[in-house]
Structure 1
Amino acid sequence: MNFNIYNRPQFLIKLSKICLLTVVVFFISCKANKTNEQVAKFTAFKFNDTSLPIEERVRDLISQMTLSEKVSQMRYDAPEINRLGVPAYNWWNECLHGVARAGEATVFPQGIGMGATWNAPLIFEMGTAVSDEARAKHHKFISEGKRGIYQGLTFWTPNINIFRDPRWGRGQETYGEDPYLTSRIGVNYIKGLQGDDSKYLKVVATAKHYAVHSGPEKSRHEDNYQTSNKDLFETYLPAFEAAVKEAKVHSVMCAYNRFREEACCGSNLLLQKILRDDWSFDGYVVSDCWAINDFWEPGKHELVKTPAEASALAVSRGTDLNCGDCYDPNLKEAVLKKMVDEEKIDLALTRLMTARFKLGMFDSEADVIWSKIPYSVVASQEHYDLSEKIAKESMVLLKNQNNTLPLSKNIKSIAVIGPNANSKQALLGNYHGTPKNYNTPLKAIMDKLPNATINYALGSDIAIGWPTLNTIPSSVLKNGENKGLKAEYFKNTNWEGTPEFIRKDSVVDFIWTLKKPIDNLKTDDFSVKWTGQLVPNESGKYRIGLRASSAGKLYFDGDLKFEFKDDHEPKTKYFDIDLQSGIGHEIKIEYYNYHSDPQAQFVWAKMDQDLITPALEAAKKSEVVVMCLGLSPDIEGEEMPVLLEGFDKGDRSDITLPKTQIELMKKIQALGKPTILVLMNGSALAVNWAADNIPAILEAWYPGEFGGNAIADVLFGDYNPAGRLPVTFYKSVDDLPDFKNYNMENRTYKYFKGDPLFPFGHGLSYTSFAYTNLNIPDTLSINNDLEITVDVKNTGAVNGDEVVQLYVSHEGKVDAAIRTLVGFERIHLKAGETKKLSFSISPKQYALINNEGIAVLESGLLKVSIGGKQPSFKGVADTTTSDVLVKNLTLIN
Structure 2
Amino acid sequence: MDKSMEDVPLYKDTTKDFEERVEDLVKHLSLEEKVSQLVYNASAISSLGIPEYNWWNECIHGVARAGVATVFPQAIGMAASFNQDLVYKVAVAISDEGRAKYHEFTRQGDRGIYKGLTFWSPNINIFRDPRWGRGQETYGEDPYLTGRMGVAFVKGLQGDHPKYLKTVATPKHYAVHSGPESLRHEFNAKVNKKDMYETYLPAFKETVKEGKAYSIMGAYNRTNDEPCCASPTLLQKILRDDWGFEGFVVSDCGAIEDIYEPHKVASSPEEAAAMAFKNGCDLCCGKIFKNLLKAIQEGLITEEEVDVSVKRLFMARFKLGMFDPEEEVPYTQIPYEVNNCNEHIQLALDTARESMVLLKNEGNLLPLSKTLGTIAVIGPNAQSQKILLGNYSGTPSEYVTVLDGIRRKVSPDTKVLYAEGCELANTSEGYWGAKPTKGFAEAIAAAERADAVIMCMGISPALEGEEGEVAESDGGGDRTKLDLPGLQEELLKTIYSLGKPVVLVILNGSPLSINWAQENIPAILEAWYPGEQGGNAVADVIFGDYNPAGRLPVTFVKSLDDIPPFTDYNMKGRTYRFMEKESLYPFGYGLSYTTFEYSNLRLNSDIIKVGEGINVKVDVENVGFIAGDEVVQLYLKDIEASVDVPIWELRGVKRIHLGPSEKKTIEFNIAPRQMALIDEQGRCLLEPGQFRVYVGGQQPDKRSEVLTGKKVLSCEFEVKGGILEMEY
Q: Please give the TM-score of this superposition, normalised by the length of structure 2.
A: 0.96
1:648 is the counterpart of 2:475: yes
Cα displacement (A) at 1:780? 2.2
Deviations 1:441-481 (A, max 9, x none): 100101112321111011111112699xxxxxxxxxxxxxx
Q: Which runs of 5+ in 2 are unaligned?
A: 722-728
Q: Distance in 2 between matches of 1:636 and 1:321?
A: 29
Which residue does 2:63 correspond to in 1?
99
Correspondence for 2:668: 839
Q: Equivalents in 2 of 1:43, 1:296: separation in Å?
A: 47
2:303 pairs with one of 342, 346, 355: 342
Which of 645, 657, 676 matches 2:484? 657
* One-letter identity of the residue aligned with 2:661: G
Residue of structure 1 in register with 2:465 after alignment: 637
Q: Deviations over 1:634-661 (max 9, x none)?
A: 11000037586x8411101111111411
Matched residue, 1:304: 266
1:857 pairs with one of 669, 675, 686 = 686
TM alignment of 1:395-434, pairs within 5 A:
395-434=356-395
Please show how residues 351-366 of structure 1 align to structure 2 within 5 Å. 351-366=312-327
Contact 2:421–2:442 under 8 Å retained in 1: yes
Q: Distance in 2 between matches of 1:69 and 1:641?
A: 34
Distance verdict in 2 for CA 1:695–1:210, change over 3 Å: same
Give the secondary structure class of the aligned counterpart of 2:370.
coil
Where in structure 2 are the equivalents of 1:153-172 lying within 5 Å?
Answer: 153-172=117-136
CA shift in 2, pair 1:607/1:100, >3 Å = farther
Aligned equivalent of 1:180: 144
* Equivalent residue letter for 2:149: I
Deviation digits for residues 151-182 of structure 1 (CA, Å, limit 9, x no counterpart): 11000000000000000000000000000000
SS in 2 for 1:679: strand
Is 1:746 the counterpart of 2:708? The answer is: no
Residue in 2 that maps onto 1:326:
288
Shift of 1:802: 0.3
The secondary structure found in structure 1 opposite 2:629 is strand
Q: In 2, Cα distance between the equivalents of 1:671 and 1:810?
A: 51
Q: Distance in 2 between matches of 1:335 and 1:764?
A: 61
Task: Judging by fraction of residues, say which structure has more strand.
Answer: 1
Q: Which has the larger radius of gyration?
A: 1
Q: 1:669 to 1:704 in 2, by over 3 A?
A: same
8 Å CA contact 2:426, 2:436 repeated in 1: no
Write the letter of the residue equivalent to 1:458: E
What is the aligned partner in structure 2 of residue 553 from structure 1? none
2:44 is aligned with 1:83: no
What does 1:384-395 align with in structure 2 at a 5 Å threshold? Answer: 384-395=345-356
| Selected match of 2:510 from 683, 703, 706 | 683
Which of 410, 418, 421 aligns to 1:459? It is: 421
Work out the CA distance in 1 between the residues paired with 2:304 and 2:18: 19
Contact 2:586–2:704 under 8 Å retained in 1: no
Matches within 5 A, 1:308-707: 308-328=270-290, 330-449=291-410, 450-464=412-426, 541=431, 608=436, 610-640=438-468, 647-707=474-534
> What residue is the counterpart of 2:254 in the other structure?
290
Quick one: distance in 2 between partners of 1:308 and 1:443?
Answer: 55
Instruction: Decide whether aligned partners of structure 1 residues 120 and 642 sit closer, same or farther in structure 2, where only a CA change above 3 A counts.
Output: closer
Q: CA deviation at 1:286?
A: 0.2
Q: Is 2:165 the counterpart of 1:201? A: yes
Deviation at 1:305, TM superposition (A): 2.0
Q: What one-letter code is carried by the residue in structure 1 that aligns with 2:239?
A: L
In structure 2, which of residues 523, 537, 540 is the aligned counterpart of residue 713 of structure 1?
540
Amino acid at match of 1:621: R
Is 2:709 the counterpart of 1:887? Answer: no
The one-letter amino acid of 2:306's match is: I
Q: Deviations over 1:745-794 (max 9, x none)?
A: 00000000110001000000000111111112322222101111111000
Give the partner amino acid of 1:622. Answer: A
* SS of the residue 1:625 aligns to: strand
Q: Is the 8 A contact 2:260 2:272 kept in 1?
A: yes
SS at 1:652's partner residue?
coil
Gaps of 5+ in 1: 1-38, 468-539, 542-577, 580-605
CA contact (8 A) 1:158 1:208 kept: yes
* Residues 10-68 of structure 1 deviation map (CA, whole Å, 9 limit, x = unaligned): xxxxxxxxxxxxxxxxxxxxxxxxxxxxx989962210011111011001111111111
1:194–1:440 CA distance, 2 compared to 1 (3 A): same
For the 8 Å contact 1:647–1:654, the answer to whether it is kept is no
Distance 2:319 2:231 in 1: 27
Contact 1:399 1:876 in 2 (8 A): no
Matched position secondary structure for 2:702: coil
Alignment match, 1:473: none
Q: Are the aligned partners of 1:110 and 1:173 in contact in 2 as well (CA < 8 Å)?
A: yes
Q: Which of 795, 818, 826 is the matching residue for 2:623?
A: 795
Letter in 1 for 2:701: S
Q: Hey, what's the Cα distance between the residues in 2 that align with 1:245 and 1:648?
A: 36
Amino acid at match of 1:100: A
Residue aligning to 1:20: none
CA contact (8 A) 2:368 2:542 kept: yes
User: In structure 1, what residue type is equivalent to 2:713?
Assistant: L
Q: Deviations over 1:221-251 (max 9, x none)?
A: 0000111111000100000000000010000
| Partner deviation per Cα, 1:612-636 (whole Å, 9 max, x = no partner) | 1111111111110000100100110
Give 2:724's aligned residue.
none
User: How far does residue 331 in structure 1 lie from its aligned partner after superposition?
Assistant: 0.5
Write the distance in 2 (CA, Å) between the matches of 1:834 and 1:782. Answer: 34
The 8 Å contact of residues 155 and 211 in structure 2, kept in 1 or not, is answered as yes
Q: Which amino acid aligns with 2:347?
A: L
1:111 aligns with 2:68: no
1:411-449: per-residue Cα shift (whole Å, max 9, x none)?
Answer: 010010111001111100000000011100100101112
Q: 1:278 and 2:242 equivalent?
A: yes
Deviation at 1:890, TM superposition (A): 1.8
Mapping 1:818-833, distance limit 5 Å = 818-833=647-662
SS in 2 for 1:762: coil
Change (3 A) 1:695 1:55: same
Match of 1:722 in 2: 549
- Where 2:547 maps in the other structure, the secondary structure is coil
Task: Indicate the SS of the match to 2:286.
Answer: coil
Inter-partner Cα distance in structure 2 for 1:717 and 1:430: 30
Which of 847, 857, 873 pairs up with 2:702? Answer: 873
- Alpha-carbon separation, structure 1, partners of 2:126 and 2:703: 27
Q: Is the partner of 1:665 in helix, strand or coil?
A: helix
One-letter code aligned to 1:117: S
Match of 2:118, SS state, is coil
SS in 1 for 2:354: helix
Between stretches 304-313 and 318-327, larger displacement belongs to 304-313
DSSP 3-state at the match of 2:625: coil
Q: SS where residue 729 of structure 1 aligns?
A: coil
**What residue number does 1:261 align with?**
225
> Residue 222 of structure 1: SS of its match in structure 2?
coil
What is the Cα deviation at residue 608 of structure 1? 4.1
Give distance in 1, aligned partners of 2:607 and 2:704. Answer: 34
Contact 2:401/2:534 (CA < 8 Å) preserved in 1? yes
Q: How many residues align?
A: 716
Instruction: Name the residue aligned to 1:120.
Output: 84
